[in-house]
Amino acid sequence: MVTRLSFLGVIARVFMWAFLLALAVVVVYPLLWMTLNGFKTNAELFGDPFALPLDWSFGNYVKAWNRGVSDYLTTSVLVTLTSTVATVFISAWAAYGLTRVDIPLNKTLTAVILGGLMLAPTVALVPLVKLFQAMGLYNTFWALLILYTAFRIPFTTFLIRAYMIDLPREVDEAAEMDGAGRWTAFWRIILPMCKPILTSTVLLHILFTWNEYLFAMIFTSGSGVQTLPVGLTSLMSKHGTEYPVVFAGMVIAALPVVLLFFLGQRYIVKGLADGIGK
């Protein structure tokens, strides 16, 4: 009986590792294929798209960089960083008020904020375009900053609130006895205790903003404010015959977020497990 159970355990492990290996190939191979095609010429690409490049030159990457990818990258970095700081700070402050402060209609305010999770961005596109045009914000950096912040606050607040609920109330009482105000208690005590979930929300927001396409496509039309997803589409339409250059641009766009994900994936899992999983 023991031998049979051991044999079944070995079979189960073999199938598990085979599944994980197949999943890794499915995820990694498209990235590797895209990277290799960035080194080819058009003739090589159409001749045998799965062969190795004959000349390992970075010329296509240089062309992609000079044809606007550098500008798109700069815009994406600025929009991502500013919206991340704004979203996480506002959401953390809102979560603090909803969980640590006794305010009237607390549950109603919580329901209203979290109700934003049910608002589909596509439903609000037309009125938002009209509003931003009337305010002079259309096709500006501020349009993307406001949109990425506003539409991510409900989700980020939900995550941070779920974590703050389980923080001990004794720390608030101790801070009040030491003469600390709300702001001091929030900034110096509560936020450091929320480091795991804050790290998770920062990484999740970066991943969302970096790859977001709908808002970036509709609310920007000039090359000076276009982010990488929209900019790569423009690169393809302008230089569509040079597909290796397009692949090179895609690699440049994907590399930062891929590295960030692999470096921070354990923080994402830990923060979410410590928060919602409680």
pLDDT in tens, 115-145: 777 777 888 888 999 999 999 999 899 999 9
Q: pLDDT by residue (tens digit) across 148-193?
A: 999 999 999 988 988 898 888 888 878 888 777 888 888 888 898 8
d(CA 51, CA 214) in angstroms, rounded, equals 34
Model confidence pTM above 0.75:
yes
In eight-state DSSP terms, residue 53 is: P
Query: According to DSSP H, which parts of 38-140 are helical?
Result: 42-47, 59-64, 70-100, 106-114, 125-135
Task: Scan for tokens 């641009």, then name that residue.
Answer: 249
CA distance 276 to 168: 16
Residue 55, classified by CB atoms within 10 Å of its CB into exposed (0-12), middle (13-18) or buried (19+), is exposed
- Residue spans of the domains in the chain: they are 68-275
pLDDT confidence band for 208 (50 / 70 / 90): very high
| Residue pLDDT, tens place only, 24-51 | 888 888 889 999 988 988 888 888 888 8
pLDDT (mean) for 189-215: 91
**Is it true that domain 68-275 has CATH number 3.40.50.2000?**
no
